[in-house]
Amino acid sequence: MSLTDDQQQNIQMKLDFSSAPRGEASKAGREATESLPAMHGTESPAGTDRLMEEICERENLREALRQVKANKGSPGVDGMTVGGITDYLKQHWPAIREQLLSGTYKPLPVRRVEIPKPDGGGVRKLGIPSVLDRFIQQAVMQVLQRRWDRTFSNHSYGFRPGRSAHHAVAQAQQYIAQGYGWCVDLDLEKFFDRVNHDKLMGRIAKRIEDKRLLKLIRAFLNAGVMENGLVSPSVEGTPQGGPLSPLLSNLVLDELDRELERRGHRFVRYADDCNIYVRSERAGRRVMESIARFIMQRLKLTVNEAKSAVARPQERKFLGFSFSFGPELKRVIAPKALDRFKRRIREVTRRAKGVSIEATAEELARYMVGWRNYFGFCETPEVLSSLTGWVRRRLRCALWRQWRTARRRRAALTALGVGPVLARNTAASYRGPWSTSQNKALHIGLSNAYFRSLGLPSLAEKG
């Protein structure tokens, strides 16, 4: 069925992507993304045969567009940027909408991108959909999440409204404090790459009657991957990088959550990171063997034996955190997370040789604020204070290298308010930059207040 010019114009007028929702519509859009209490159960597919119309509703599309723009991201295989999506939709939306409602929409292949893993252990493969496909996936995800999220387990924290990694870590801490002092740390090997499409579609079909939506989700799963100009078919996996993938991963692992609940385990799952807490090592080894067998036989996924373990929680990391030994159980930053932080700071301050201190401080501040917002959840403020002091010392060291000669060093110190005698003696020192960075003159001239004036935050202080 094709649309007349009048019908197309009418759809475009209704789909005013350039204006923001106001009043009750705005409120409804915000409420749609708020968390719903998780309840045990599965949504019936009854009454879900018109979901594509719900996906194409004006307010849902506006919210999807807002989210895609906010997330920014790289172009897909067609080269379209996030900035160009609004004008594209104004011109082409009637035809796209008709394809969605008729079940004939065909997504483009995803663009393969490899990014280094934070721990240095190889690369993580991402699949970047086109901006248009991201927009449609986001619209689909919003409708399905509103329906599905309430049915997911209370033990699941990843990619869910109103839930976060901090909630997961706090729940793990609570289990440990209750005496469950052994952890079954399960690592699913290449989880996002190994999801069985047929098994996943079977689970989705139990919740959705709309054949057009089932066909669209299957099309996204089978869209293929473009790498070095060649398109390869995707026969398994949900490529990381699209808005729909996290929701589908939660649906896949909901079966694991239900099994763990059925067995009465205390556990926390965030995406494919799952920790089960037990009272003894013996119990942990029994649980590890049993659950690993369930994951392989029922979910058709693989447990990475090299990265999985039964151990004390204090000896493992969970979402970047670990826990302290002793009577007072505290959240601490995992050693690998601290190493990553220092490695990043070193990279930035090493590049400072030919860059102004203002530009370097600005780059550091962006990273440190984001890092603090996450790892400030730890309960060891002394570590945060120490790291802040270490960053300042790195900057003092970088500036000392920038000044290079004794004459420039003396002039710079004097200009920063250091007395002439101390400035002259410090500038004449033959000690290396790292040692000199602790010198009294540098602490006077390059004080904590000086770095605050450049916008460099303290990791121990919010705001």
Residue 95, SS3?
helix
Per DSSP bridges, beta strands 110-116 and 225-227 are parallel
Question: Which residues are registered as beta bridge partners of 198?
Answer: none
Alpha helices in 72-184 (DSSP H): 85-102, 131-148, 165-177
CA atoms within a 13 Å half-sphere pointing along the CA-CB vector of 82: 14
Q: pLDDT value at position 159?
A: 93
Per DSSP bridges, beta strands 230-232 and 321-323 are unpaired
Lowest mean pLDDT: which of 125-129, 153-157, 191-195? 191-195
Q: Which helix (H) or strand (E) holds 456?
A: none
Residue 398, SS3?
helix
Sequence-separated (6 or more) residues with CB below 8 Å from residue 274: 186, 188, 253, 256, 267, 268
Give the strand order in the sheet containing 225-227: 123-128, 110-116, 225-227, 230-232
Q: pLDDT value at position 26?
A: 36
> Using 50, 70 and 90 to split pLDDT, how confident is the model at 463?
low
Q: Which helix (H) or strand (E) holds 184?
A: strand 182-187
Whether residue 76 is predicted with pLDDT greater than 80 in this model: the reply is yes
Mean pLDDT of 47-70: 93
Average pLDDT, the chain: 87
> How many residues does this entry show for the chain?
463
Q: pLDDT value at position 372?
A: 97
Dmax (CA) for the chain in angstroms is 87
Whether residue 3 is predicted with pLDDT greater than 70 in this model: the reply is no
CB 268 within 8 A of CB 165: no
Return the structure tokens found at 373.
């917002």
Q: What is the pLDDT of residues 260-281, one digit of tens each?
A: 999 999 999 999 899 999 999 9
| Dist CA 441 CA 427 (whole Å) | 9
Angle at alpha carbon of residue 456, lines to 341 and 370, rounded to 5°: 45
Residues 344, 347, 349, 354, CA torsion sign: negative
Return the structure tokens found at 328.
């007072």
Q: pLDDT value at position 166?
A: 97
CA atoms within a 13 Å half-sphere pointing along the CA-CB vector of 204: 27
- pTM of the complete model: 0.84
Q: pLDDT value at position 311?
A: 97
Angle at alpha carbon of residue 400, lines to 395 and 401, rounded to 5°: 100
| Dist CA 440 CA 419 (whole Å) | 11
Question: Which residues are registered as beta bridge partners of 127?
Answer: 112
More confident site: 108 or 190: 108
Q: pLDDT value at position 327?
A: 85
Rg over CA atoms, the chain: 27
Angle at alpha carbon of residue 270, lines to 267 and 275, rounded to 5°: 35
Whether residue 228 is predicted with pLDDT greater than 90 in this model: the reply is no
Residue 252, SS3?
helix
Whether residue 18 is predicted with pLDDT greater than 50 in this model: the reply is no
Q: What is the pLDDT of residues 373-421, one digit of tens each?
A: 999 999 999 999 999 999 999 999 999 999 999 999 999 999 999 999 9
Mean pLDDT of 36-59: 73
Say what percent of the chain tops pLDDT 90: 71
How far from the centroid of its chain's Cα atoms is residue 256's Cα?
22
Q: Cα dist. 35→136, 142, 149, 189 in Å?
A: 22, 12, 8, 29
Mean pLDDT of 92-103: 96
CB 448 within 8 A of CB 391: no
Q: What is the pLDDT of residues 321-360, one digit of tens each?
A: 999 998 899 999 999 999 999 999 999 999 887 789 999 9
